Amino acid sequence: MHHFHYVSHTLFCEEVPLSKIAEEVGTPCYVYSHATLVHHFRVFDGAFSSVEHHTCFAVKANSNIAILSLFGSMGAGMDIVSGGELYRARKAGIPAKKIVYSGVGKSIQEIDYALSEGILMFNIESFEELERINERARELGLRAPIALRVNPDVDPKTHPYISTGMKKNKFGIDMKFALEAYEVAKKLDYIEIVGVDCHIGSQLTDVAPFVEAIGKIRELVNELRRRNIDIRYVDIGGGLGITYDREEPPHPMEYAEAVLNAMRGLNCCFILEPGRVIVGNAGILLTKVLYTKKTPTKKFVIVDAAMNDLIRPSLYNAFHAIWPVHLDPSKEEEVVDVVGPICESGDFLARERPLQIQAYGDLLAVMSAGAYGFSMSSNYNSRPRAAEVLVRGRDYEIIRERESWKDLIQLERIPKWINL
């Protein structure tokens, strides 16, 4: 469900025509719907209302502080994977006690920052990290609350780049060594064991792999409790998929039911780390046609957004629907590649896609771009990053200004010994 819809052949976000935003803010530009964000968060969080839980939004999916702050105002915590994300979350007003910290490569500087802020827990991914965090906590005279991220070795049946819970992935501690790792953790003076964590991948469209992973987690929690290791939090990660094309992922209610059923009787506080399912379909990338071009084998529509703005098609061969902002029922469709201005053949937003005939100045909406869109964008080809806009009813606000050419070189210096 989202709030991007046509009103007499013109595409609106809530009550604002996208053409108005293109005119006033320019393109390319990310546009998010406040009503959709709120609805998605409420539905997901509400699905777990029968149990004690924290919904910790995965900051990497969409890191704009306005959006983090919006979720915070609805009670959300955050799942972070870097010191930068912790900084964002805190600036957005999220209490440290609702922040969990995942990731295989936490630096000393990041660990110290998270310890001094007093986060809810570190999700630890290796024996060495356990030792490192113990050391840093001792240094700072604090105790580090931790969960071990275990790798349950289940196949999430998603793109290999975004599957994280299989034996061959870099994430988590192998199930076989989990008990040993908890025994080690128990003996460390500056570590306080508070939970168990897993996250098996992203864009899952079936509940079965979640249920399989939870079965293994549940056994582990029971065994830990038998060994007098107190487990208060069970973090089952994120990963619920969305509809980009024809996928039929489970509804959050269905997901919650399956998860809660698999966890029944396990007395603990659940932590959920949804990202994509909350923000994915709440945002679009608005772009303008620059040129059309025919080659002997193809038709290209060249737009002003590119792989630096939205890398998912290039990186994962991901599908994003493309909707014309103005529908013209009299126009025919033709099969085109929608590509950006970047000097790479991998720079495309859609391939072999039927689309109404386009011309210079026409606007297109690249749908389902709210997750892993702007947050993965870069300055490649020295392209200033796009603006971000949040629509609410009849109004909108710019929540991130478009970068300027000056911004591009802001941090660069020419050494004095280069004489031009």
Query: Which positions touch ligand PLP (CB under 6 A)?
Result: 58, 60-61, 79, 81, 102, 199, 202, 237-240, 273-277, 371
Closest contact distance (angstroms) between CB of 372 and ligand PLP is 7
Closest contact distance (angstroms) between CB of 99 and ligand PLP is 13
Closest contact distance (angstroms) between CB of 345 and ligand PLP is 28
Alpha-helical regions (H) of 26-117: 34-46, 65-73, 83-91, 108-117
Residue number with CB closer to ligand PLP (239 or 373):
239
Residue number with CB closer to ligand PLP (253 or 409):
253
Q: What does the DSSP 8-state code read for residue 47?
A: T
Closest contact distance (angstroms) between CB of 190 and ligand PLP is 23
Residue number with CB closer to ligand PLP (81 or 99):
81
Residue 262 has which token pair?
């698999």
Closest contact distance (angstroms) between CB of 235 and ligand PLP is 8
Answer for the pair 339, 349: CB distance below 8 angstroms, yes or no: yes
Residue nearest to ligand PLP (CB): 275
Residue number with CB closer to ligand PLP (25 or 100):
100
Which of the residues 29, 56, 198, 343 is marked catalytic? 343
Residue number with CB closer to ligand PLP (27 or 202):
202
Q: What's the per-residue H, E or C state across the chain? A: CCCEEEECCEEEECCEEHHHHHHHHCCCEEEEEHHHHHHHHHHHHHCCCCCCEEEEEEHHHCCCHHHHHHHHHCCCEEEECCHHHHHHHHHCCCCHHHEEECCCCCCHHHHHHHHHHCCCEEEECCHHHHHHHHHHHHHHCCCEEEEEEEECCCCCCCCHHHECCCCCCCCCEEHHHHHHHHHHHHHCCCEEEEEEECCCECCECCCHHHHHHHHHHHHHHHHHHHCCCCCCEEECCCCECCCCCCCCCCCHHHHHHHHHHHHCCCCCEEEECCCHHHHHHHEEEEEEEEEEEECCCCEEEEECCCCCCCCHHHHHCCCCCEEECECCCCCCEEEEEEECCCCCCCCEEEEEEEEECCCCCCEEEECCCCCCCHHHCCCHHHCCCCEEEEEECCEEEEEECCCCHHHHHCCCCCCCCCCC
Phi, psi of 141 (to 5 degrees): 70, 40
Residue number with CB closer to ligand PLP (202 or 368):
202
Closest contact distance (angstroms) between CB of 252 and ligand PLP is 11
Residue number with CB closer to ligand PLP (22 or 80):
80
Closest contact distance (angstroms) between CB of 384 and ligand PLP is 26
- Smallest CA-to-CA distance from 221 within 166, 271, 147 is with 147
Is-catalytic flag, 343? yes
Q: Note the maximum CA span of the chain.
A: 73
Residue number with CB closer to ligand PLP (27 or 123):
123
Closest contact distance (angstroms) between CB of 148 and ligand PLP is 13
State the catalytic residues. Answer: 343
